[in-house]
Amino acid sequence: MTSPLPRPQLGPAPNARAHLPRRLRGILSLGDFEAAARRTLPRPIFGYLQGGVEDNVTLEANRAAFRQWLLRTQVLVDVSQRSQATTLMGESYRAPFGISPMGLCALFAFEGDLVLARAAEAAGIPFVLSGASLTRLEEVARAAPTCGWFQAYIPGEPAHIEGLVQRVAEAGFRTLVVTVDTAALANRENNVRVGFSTPLRPSPRLAWDGLLRPRWLAGTLARTLLQRGMPHFENAGAQRGVPIISRSVVRQFGLRDHLHWGHLALVRRLWKGRLVVKGIIAAEDVERAGQAGADGVILSNHGGRQLDGTAPPLRMLPEAARVKGGMALMLDSGVRRGTDVLKALALGADHVFVGRPMAYAAAVGGQAGVAHAIGLLQDEIHRDMALLGVPSLADLSAAQLIPADSIAPRSHPAPQRRLP
């Protein structure tokens, strides 16, 4: 008589999360970081990070786009050797996602840009440093020597473009991301409503919210001012930019409505490394980026923070995949789950990027928080590949997806009233 099989253990072992800092143990998904960050950050700072523009139509559409696809699973497939390692533009990474560029991260967590960079480097995934960051790009390049990318907002004059490109190259970055969807400053009404302004101005609301959140006040703001001084926009050009409280901030990041494809061609002539264009939605622009010499494009609507009503990148992905040629095709905006990553890859993306949840994670738990966020998404992808029946990311295709609207809800006839 054979002995009975051991009962499978349902859920994580009781001590499976004991290694985490206490404030991270209740966070089970990327979505959980948002509520925790709301409790951590002052309302104006959190509102700036969370919000989109105008009516948040695009912000909400980005998430809804992933729910418009359902998964077709295959069973009894040997997935015991599955791997999510991937190669992107000749570089190997341990997961098919990276961290999007986000400005002002040093306001969310002490040395926020370095926190994100170090966590990404340790995990073997790309991290894109924002041109609106508050940490010198040279520091970040040293913190992420193999996984660091730099994202630039093209300066207005050719001489300034040349100076910035030279600085990025001398710092050691090998991938330059040029963001092209900022011809004008966005209508961020939510910033006004929550009391956030650019330039950043001290206000009674910010002071009161800071007092209500002493961990942020002492651990981020006071620590930054004491150890690093007043934050500056460090990487907008070849030289150090203006302080975050300067009235010149708008001038430094505005005045881009005259830029055109010729400026991108100039960047391509100057930059000898990998060139990525971010902020594209239309397939025609994907083609033009390829003609301009780009090595990759990131489909993006800036996380719903530029033009409200812009189509979600996921909806535009199949069209872009048909015309990408030899370029790497990437995507951001709305990625929150492992299934989101797999859906994007199935529709033709080579890689995806995650923004807000990683900033929330830095605010909540510093580098440990970001590492936890990365690990949660990696675990989801690993589990989802098994349940989907996919041993390799190369096996993903549109055949595994079904449009959600193709499955009509079952209708039930209304009950018939019996006549007397």
Contact 81, 333 (CB under 8 A): no
Q: Which of 232, 263, 302, 372 is catalytic?
A: 302
Under a CB-based contact definition with an 8 Å cutoff, are residues 148 and 121 in contact? yes
| Beta carbons of 53 and 306 less than 8 angstroms apart | yes
Element (H, E) at 277: strand 274-280
User: 237 and 160 in contact (C-beta within 8 Å)?
Assistant: yes
**Residue (of 228, 19, 242) closest to 112 by Cα position:** 228
Is residue 302 among the annotated active site residues? yes
Taking a C-beta distance cutoff of 8 angstroms, is the pair 186, 253 a contact?
Answer: no
DSSP 179: E
> Half-sphere exposure of 126 toward its Cβ, with a 13 Å CA cutoff?
30
CB-CB contact of 383 with 338 (8 Å):
yes
Asked whether the bond before 413 is cis by omega within 30 degrees of 0, the reply is: no
User: Are 209 and 42 contacting, i.e. CB atoms less than 8 angstroms apart?
Assistant: yes
How many angstroms separate the CA atoms of 53 and 198, rounded?
A: 15
The Cα–Cα gap between 95 and 378 comes to 7
Nearest alpha carbon to residue 220 among 115, 132, 108, 140: 108
Tokens of 71: 């998964």
**C-alpha span between 233 and 244 (Å, rounded):** 7
User: In 322-359, which positions are buried (b, 16+ CB within 10 angstroms) versus exposed (e)?
Assistant: eebeebbbbbbbbbbbbbbbbbbbbbbbbbbbbbbbbb
CA-CA distance, 191 to 183, in Å (whole number)?
19
The neighbouring-strand residues paired with 177 are 151, 276
User: Which residues belong to the active site?
Assistant: 302
